[in-house]
Amino acid sequence: MRIYSIVFHVLKKNPDENYNSIPPYIEIIFPNHLLYKIPTDIIERNHFKLQSGYPGCRVLNSTVNEIGSCSIFLKKDSDIIAVSNMHVMGSQFITDSTSYVPDLGNNLPKVVIGQDQSIKGTVFRGAFNDRLDVAFCRIDPNDHQKVSNIVPGVGKIQGYYNATNNYNKYKEVKVYGNISKLQRSTIKNVSTILEFNYSTDNLSFYHIFYGVSCLEDSVTSGGDSGGIVIMNDNQIIGIVLGSDGKNTYYLPYIRIKDYFNAIVL
């Protein structure tokens, strides 16, 4: 967010308000040769928790060793839900190009999320067809405090935006994925057809997505699937499907919301 502070971790804060061993700010010269006054803060031990889950962070389906990216965290009732592609979170259940919606049985995909793989979750719903490639993962309640919708270098996601009309062509966007990190591009087409051959070690078939969007250039790599696409006002507009080497394609978020209605965390 380009807002800095220097945080001191102490066993216990001194109750004496006149005790000024730590100054209210520290002057630092940045690489641009400008002098900044960086404010300080003091936090007692155990009151500070690192968040390892954020939009664009790593998602691993350990069953098939499929790596991708998380796009956003949602909240529905008491659940916190991570969103990514079905071909990332539940690729072992894709048998052909038709729709797949898992039931709530015991054989659901287990995934780990975060750069340190510390966040555990279970996929409880998903779809892979000509309009959707999306899966929803229920985060373990013990890991709720580890996630946030703050994108590194961008800030907090501010809801969603329907960018599927032609008014949004040529608008600038930001893309964040596990491999490529923060990238910038421009919307080339808000509704196009994507044709490709889907293949895994045990499966291969021809597939078509209708009404997906694409960017002017390719700004993603393998492992960025499921990453987040954001407008400049930090509203999510889609999740990454993949790239053909020339353009990056993404699934409009409004279509995901119509399929599974939940609020942005």
Q: Model-level pTM?
A: 0.80
Instruction: Locate 204 and state its tokens.
Output: 């291969």
195-198: which pairs have CB atoms within 8 A and are 24 or more residues apart? 196/242, 196/244, 198/87, 198/94, 198/97
φ, ψ (nearest 5 deg) of residue 167: -60, -25
Segments of the chain with pLDDT less than 50 = 1, 104
pLDDT in tens, 63-96: 888 899 999 999 999 999 999 999 999 888 888 7
pLDDT, position 211? 95
**Residues 85, 239 contacting (CB under 8 angstroms):** yes
pLDDT, position 1? 47
pLDDT, position 108? 77
pLDDT, position 12? 79
Cα–Cα distance for residue pair 255/227, rounded to 1 Å: 16
pLDDT, position 106? 63
pLDDT, position 16? 67
Nearest to 249 by CA among 218, 205, 208: 218
